[in-house]
Amino acid sequence: MPEEMPWADPVVVPDDIRALQPDIDAYHRELRLARRRRRRERITSSPAWRRWSFPVGVLTGALALAAVVVALLAVDGAARPTHPQAVPLASPSVGAGRVGGLLPATAVKAADGTPVALRSLRPALVVLAPTRCNCTSLLDSLAAQAAEVQLQLVVIAPQSPDAEVAALPGQLHHGNIVVGYDNQSSLTAAYAAHGVTALVIARDGVVTYVQRDVTRSTRLELPLQAALLLGVGAAS
Protein backbone atom coordinates (compact mmCIF):
# COMPACT_ATOMS: atom_id res chain seq x y z
CA MET A 1 0.00 0.00 0.00
CA PRO A 2 1.50 3.36 -0.91
CA GLU A 3 2.78 5.34 2.01
CA GLU A 4 1.04 8.48 0.70
CA MET A 5 -2.41 7.07 1.73
CA PRO A 6 -2.72 8.39 5.34
CA TRP A 7 -6.44 7.40 5.65
CA ALA A 8 -5.65 3.68 5.72
CA ASP A 9 -4.99 2.10 9.17
CA PRO A 10 -2.00 -0.17 9.16
CA VAL A 11 -2.62 -3.78 10.12
CA VAL A 12 -0.51 -4.79 13.08
CA VAL A 13 0.24 -8.49 13.29
CA PRO A 14 1.45 -9.50 16.76
CA ASP A 15 4.50 -11.63 17.12
CA ASP A 16 2.67 -13.93 19.58
CA ILE A 17 -0.91 -15.07 18.79
CA ARG A 18 -1.66 -15.21 22.54
CA ALA A 19 -1.71 -11.43 22.57
CA LEU A 20 -5.08 -11.62 20.77
CA GLN A 21 -6.68 -13.70 23.55
CA PRO A 22 -8.53 -10.72 25.24
CA ASP A 23 -10.13 -9.85 21.89
CA ILE A 24 -11.13 -13.46 21.32
CA ASP A 25 -12.70 -13.67 24.79
CA ALA A 26 -14.63 -10.43 24.21
CA TYR A 27 -15.90 -11.76 20.88
CA HIS A 28 -17.20 -14.97 22.50
CA ARG A 29 -18.85 -12.99 25.30
CA GLU A 30 -20.73 -10.94 22.74
CA LEU A 31 -21.84 -14.13 20.99
CA ARG A 32 -23.16 -15.59 24.27
CA LEU A 33 -25.02 -12.37 25.11
CA ALA A 34 -26.56 -12.33 21.65
CA ARG A 35 -27.74 -15.96 22.01
CA ARG A 36 -29.31 -15.24 25.44
CA ARG A 37 -31.01 -12.15 24.05
CA ARG A 38 -32.49 -14.13 21.17
CA ARG A 39 -33.76 -16.87 23.55
CA ARG A 40 -35.32 -14.25 25.84
CA GLU A 41 -37.00 -12.54 22.90
CA ARG A 42 -38.41 -15.87 21.67
CA ILE A 43 -39.90 -16.55 25.11
CA THR A 44 -41.29 -13.09 25.84
CA SER A 45 -42.79 -12.72 22.38
CA SER A 46 -44.65 -16.03 22.54
CA PRO A 47 -48.48 -16.02 22.99
CA ALA A 48 -48.17 -18.20 26.13
CA TRP A 49 -45.89 -15.65 27.79
CA ARG A 50 -48.17 -12.74 26.95
CA ARG A 51 -51.17 -14.65 28.31
CA TRP A 52 -49.73 -16.18 31.49
CA SER A 53 -46.84 -13.98 32.64
CA PHE A 54 -49.01 -11.53 34.62
CA PRO A 55 -51.19 -14.15 36.42
CA VAL A 56 -48.12 -16.24 37.26
CA GLY A 57 -46.33 -13.16 38.59
CA VAL A 58 -49.30 -12.19 40.75
CA LEU A 59 -49.59 -15.77 42.09
CA THR A 60 -45.88 -15.88 42.88
CA GLY A 61 -46.05 -12.56 44.70
CA ALA A 62 -49.10 -13.70 46.70
CA LEU A 63 -47.34 -16.91 47.74
CA ALA A 64 -44.24 -14.97 48.79
CA LEU A 65 -46.36 -12.54 50.81
CA ALA A 66 -48.21 -15.43 52.47
CA ALA A 67 -44.89 -17.02 53.41
CA VAL A 68 -43.71 -13.76 54.97
CA VAL A 69 -46.95 -13.41 56.95
CA VAL A 70 -46.72 -16.99 58.24
CA ALA A 71 -43.11 -16.41 59.28
CA LEU A 72 -44.01 -13.18 61.10
CA LEU A 73 -46.90 -14.88 62.90
CA ALA A 74 -44.61 -17.72 63.96
CA VAL A 75 -42.03 -15.26 65.30
CA ASP A 76 -44.73 -13.23 67.04
CA GLY A 77 -46.18 -16.35 68.66
CA ALA A 78 -42.76 -17.42 69.87
CA ALA A 79 -42.08 -13.95 71.28
CA ARG A 80 -45.32 -13.63 73.22
CA PRO A 81 -44.68 -13.53 76.93
CA THR A 82 -45.58 -16.55 78.99
CA HIS A 83 -47.51 -16.22 82.22
CA PRO A 84 -45.26 -14.26 84.63
CA GLN A 85 -44.16 -16.38 87.56
CA ALA A 86 -44.23 -15.24 91.18
CA VAL A 87 -40.92 -14.48 92.87
CA PRO A 88 -40.15 -14.44 96.61
CA LEU A 89 -42.01 -11.79 98.55
CA ALA A 90 -40.29 -8.44 98.73
CA SER A 91 -39.35 -6.70 101.97
CA PRO A 92 -40.36 -3.09 101.26
CA SER A 93 -40.05 -0.31 103.79
CA VAL A 94 -43.65 0.71 103.10
CA GLY A 95 -46.20 -1.07 105.25
CA ALA A 96 -48.67 -3.62 103.95
CA GLY A 97 -51.92 -2.21 102.61
CA ARG A 98 -50.33 0.80 100.91
CA VAL A 99 -48.97 1.46 97.45
CA GLY A 100 -45.36 0.30 97.46
CA GLY A 101 -46.06 -2.21 100.24
CA LEU A 102 -47.13 -5.83 100.22
CA LEU A 103 -50.69 -7.03 100.01
CA PRO A 104 -52.11 -7.61 103.48
CA ALA A 105 -51.39 -11.10 104.77
CA THR A 106 -55.02 -12.08 104.56
CA ALA A 107 -57.00 -14.86 102.99
CA VAL A 108 -60.10 -14.69 100.83
CA LYS A 109 -62.65 -17.40 100.28
CA ALA A 110 -62.69 -19.14 96.93
CA ALA A 111 -65.96 -19.93 95.18
CA ASP A 112 -66.03 -23.36 96.86
CA GLY A 113 -65.51 -21.82 100.32
CA THR A 114 -61.86 -22.80 100.78
CA PRO A 115 -59.49 -20.06 102.06
CA VAL A 116 -56.88 -18.75 99.63
CA ALA A 117 -53.92 -16.64 100.72
CA LEU A 118 -54.24 -13.44 98.73
CA ARG A 119 -50.48 -13.07 98.33
CA SER A 120 -50.34 -16.49 96.65
CA LEU A 121 -52.28 -15.11 93.68
CA ARG A 122 -49.45 -12.78 92.61
CA PRO A 123 -48.84 -11.38 90.08
CA ALA A 124 -52.34 -10.25 89.22
CA LEU A 125 -54.78 -7.48 88.60
CA VAL A 126 -56.96 -7.55 91.72
CA VAL A 127 -60.34 -5.85 91.44
CA LEU A 128 -62.41 -5.01 94.51
CA ALA A 129 -66.01 -5.06 93.33
CA PRO A 130 -68.80 -3.50 95.39
CA THR A 131 -72.00 -5.40 96.13
CA ARG A 132 -74.39 -5.46 93.16
CA CYS A 133 -71.99 -3.51 90.99
CA ASN A 134 -73.63 -4.52 87.68
CA CYS A 135 -70.18 -4.26 86.15
CA THR A 136 -69.73 -7.42 84.08
CA SER A 137 -68.79 -5.52 80.91
CA LEU A 138 -66.33 -3.38 82.87
CA LEU A 139 -64.70 -6.45 84.39
CA ASP A 140 -64.47 -8.02 80.93
CA SER A 141 -62.57 -4.94 79.76
CA LEU A 142 -60.18 -5.21 82.71
CA ALA A 143 -59.71 -8.93 82.06
CA ALA A 144 -58.72 -8.12 78.46
CA GLN A 145 -56.16 -5.56 79.64
CA ALA A 146 -54.70 -8.03 82.12
CA ALA A 147 -54.55 -10.72 79.44
CA GLU A 148 -52.40 -8.44 77.27
CA VAL A 149 -49.53 -9.00 79.71
CA GLN A 150 -50.56 -12.56 80.63
CA LEU A 151 -51.87 -11.61 84.07
CA GLN A 152 -54.90 -13.15 85.73
CA LEU A 153 -57.82 -11.07 86.91
CA VAL A 154 -58.75 -11.64 90.55
CA VAL A 155 -62.21 -10.28 91.41
CA ILE A 156 -62.90 -9.89 95.13
CA ALA A 157 -66.47 -9.36 96.33
CA PRO A 158 -67.11 -7.94 99.80
CA GLN A 159 -69.34 -10.82 100.88
CA SER A 160 -70.49 -14.26 99.81
CA PRO A 161 -72.57 -15.43 98.21
CA ASP A 162 -72.57 -12.87 95.42
CA ALA A 163 -74.37 -14.28 92.39
CA GLU A 164 -72.98 -11.71 89.96
CA VAL A 165 -69.35 -12.33 90.94
CA ALA A 166 -69.83 -16.10 91.11
CA ALA A 167 -71.04 -16.13 87.50
CA LEU A 168 -68.08 -14.11 86.16
CA PRO A 169 -65.81 -17.02 85.07
CA GLY A 170 -68.50 -18.15 82.65
CA GLN A 171 -69.38 -14.65 81.43
CA LEU A 172 -66.01 -13.00 80.83
CA HIS A 173 -64.37 -13.74 77.51
CA HIS A 174 -60.77 -12.74 78.15
CA GLY A 175 -57.92 -14.21 80.15
CA ASN A 176 -57.93 -16.18 83.38
CA ILE A 177 -60.49 -15.18 86.02
CA VAL A 178 -60.27 -15.97 89.75
CA VAL A 179 -63.16 -15.13 92.08
CA GLY A 180 -62.87 -14.63 95.85
CA TYR A 181 -64.78 -13.15 98.77
CA ASP A 182 -63.50 -10.85 101.50
CA ASN A 183 -66.18 -11.23 104.16
CA GLN A 184 -64.35 -8.98 106.64
CA SER A 185 -63.93 -6.25 103.98
CA SER A 186 -60.31 -5.94 105.08
CA LEU A 187 -59.12 -5.07 101.58
CA THR A 188 -61.86 -2.51 101.10
CA ALA A 189 -60.76 -0.78 104.31
CA ALA A 190 -57.01 -1.11 103.65
CA TYR A 191 -57.19 0.56 100.23
CA ALA A 192 -60.15 2.87 100.85
CA ALA A 193 -61.93 1.22 97.96
CA HIS A 194 -64.58 3.28 96.24
CA GLY A 195 -66.65 1.95 93.38
CA VAL A 196 -64.74 -0.64 91.37
CA THR A 197 -61.15 -0.42 92.66
CA ALA A 198 -58.17 -1.97 90.84
CA LEU A 199 -54.92 -3.07 92.50
CA VAL A 200 -51.91 -4.01 90.39
CA ILE A 201 -49.87 -6.69 92.17
CA ALA A 202 -46.29 -7.33 91.09
CA ARG A 203 -44.59 -10.71 91.06
CA ASP A 204 -43.04 -10.04 94.46
CA GLY A 205 -46.40 -9.24 96.09
CA VAL A 206 -45.96 -5.46 96.10
CA VAL A 207 -48.99 -3.33 95.29
CA THR A 208 -47.63 -1.06 92.58
CA TYR A 209 -50.76 0.83 91.57
CA VAL A 210 -54.25 1.61 92.91
CA GLN A 211 -57.09 3.04 90.85
CA ARG A 212 -60.48 3.78 92.42
CA ASP A 213 -63.77 4.38 90.60
CA VAL A 214 -62.63 2.44 87.55
CA THR A 215 -64.78 2.94 84.43
CA ARG A 216 -64.86 1.46 80.94
CA SER A 217 -62.54 4.24 79.76
CA THR A 218 -59.88 3.43 82.39
CA ARG A 219 -56.70 2.07 80.82
CA LEU A 220 -54.30 0.09 83.01
CA GLU A 221 -51.90 -1.37 80.43
CA LEU A 222 -48.99 0.88 81.45
CA PRO A 223 -49.27 0.20 85.20
CA LEU A 224 -49.61 -3.53 84.45
CA GLN A 225 -46.51 -3.55 82.28
CA ALA A 226 -44.56 -1.39 84.73
CA ALA A 227 -45.35 -3.74 87.60
CA LEU A 228 -43.82 -6.64 85.72
CA LEU A 229 -40.74 -4.76 84.53
CA LEU A 230 -39.96 -2.28 87.28
CA GLY A 231 -41.42 -3.61 90.50
CA VAL A 232 -42.67 -0.84 92.76
CA GLY A 233 -44.86 1.76 91.05
CA ALA A 234 -46.62 4.90 92.15
CA ALA A 235 -50.08 5.75 93.31
CA SER A 236 -52.59 7.11 90.89
Tens digit of each residue's pLDDT (9 = 90 or more) over 108-125: 988 788 999 989 999 999
d(CA 236, CA 223): 10
Q: Give the span between the Cα atoms of 64 and 136, in whole angstroms.
A: 44
Mean pLDDT of 136-141: 89
The answer, yes or no, to whether residue 191 has pLDDT greater than 90, is yes
Residue 197 has pLDDT above 90, yes or no: yes
Q: What is the pLDDT of residues 5-34, one digit of tens each?
A: 555 556 666 666 677 778 778 888 888 888
User: What pLDDT, on a 0 to 100 scale, did the predictor assign at position 226?
Assistant: 84
> Has residue 233 got a pLDDT over 50?
no
Work out the mean pLDDT of the chain and round it to a whole number. Answer: 82
Domain ranges of the chain: 17-79, 107-230
Question: Shortest CA distance to 118 belongs to which of 150, 86, 72?
Answer: 86
- 107-230 folds as Glutaredoxin (3.40.30)
Give the single-character DSSP code of 189. H
Q: Is the pLDDT of residue 208 over 90?
A: yes
